[in-house]
Structure 1
Amino acid sequence: MLLRASSQAAGEEVDLSAAVEDAADGGVEDGAVLTAFAEAVVRATDDLDKARARALETLGPAKFVEAAATVGIFNGLVRVADSTGIPSDAMMLERTADVRGELGFNRWAGAKSSGVAEAPA
């Protein structure tokens, strides 16, 4: 949801489906590299070393560290929220209803804590 808000504030258009589907770059600079890196980190795939090296080469050291920190923080926040059952607040649920529906977020396990869970497709 932050990507949507920040891209709107910057006057940029991004394809949020890149977060859940195989999409080229989502309209984000170096999006394909960032997505491959994030997926490799979160899923602990065998491609992690390769994805890390490609991200470092493409982004440079400063942007790579920022990307790695962002992946780590979001992964940690989601794990804490899901493990403790923290629900999303009413304002967040209202503001994100369209995107959650479009991208299928309500089918994810964490949606149960907020009372918006749908059956998996």
Structure 2
Amino acid sequence: MMLRASSDATGSATDIHDVIADDTDDPVSSALTSLVDAALKHGDLVSARRTVLEVLGPEALVTACSVIGNFEKMNRMADGTGLGLSDDQMAGLADIRSELGFDAFIVE
């Protein structure tokens, strides 16, 4: 799965609902989704890490955990500084924000 900008750049199809869907038959997607959910929702992280290790191997586990940690770090830094999105960024994300109901949380 790709992020929106990388999908646009490569001409690949994407569906934002794939990011939040729990109904995948793909063991790789399922393992990674479980790891992210466990890390961000304080779930069974031991089991989720074990599953990623079994399905993808140790290198992928380290990479996945590093990506999760980096996103958390960047979000906390942005939140802590009060960093907002530019008008261009907000406009570019309008469809996704609306579809996922994020506009309800915007404080002007």
User: Shorter-chain TM-score category?
Assistant: 0.7 to 0.9
* Deviation of the 1:56 alpha carbon: 1.7
Choose the corresponding residue for 1:38, options 10, 15, 36. Answer: 36
Q: Which one has a bigger Cα radius of gyration? A: 2
User: Structure 1 residues 82 and 16 mapped into 2: Cα distance closer, same or farther (>3 Å)?
Assistant: same
**What residue number does 2:23 align with?**
24
Residue 44 of structure 1, CA deviation: 1.9
SS, match of residue 54 in structure 2:
helix
Count of aligned pairs between the two proteins: 106
Q: Which 5+ residue runs of structure 2 have no aligned equivalent?
A: none
Please give the per-residue CA displacement for 1:42-101, whole angstroms capped at 9, x wherever unaligned. Answer: 1222x1100111012212222222211111111121222223321111221111111111
Superposed, which structure 2 residues align to 1:70-85 within 5 Å? Answer: 70-85=67-82
Equivalent residue runs for 1:89-104 within 5 Å: 89-104=86-101
| 3-state SS of 1:37 partner | helix
Deviation per residue, 1:27-54 (Å, 9 max, x gap): x882222111011111222x11001110
TM-score (ref. length: structure 2): 0.78
Q: What root-mean-square deviation, in Å, do the aligned CA atoms of Structure 1 and Structure 2 show?
A: 2.4
Contact 1:56 1:64 in 2 (8 A): yes
CA contact (8 A) 1:40 1:51 kept: yes
SS of residue paired to 1:30: helix
Distance of aligned partners of 1:37 and 1:17 in 2 relative to their CA distance in 1, 3 Å threshold = same
Compute the TM-score of the two structures, normalised by the length of structure 1: 0.71
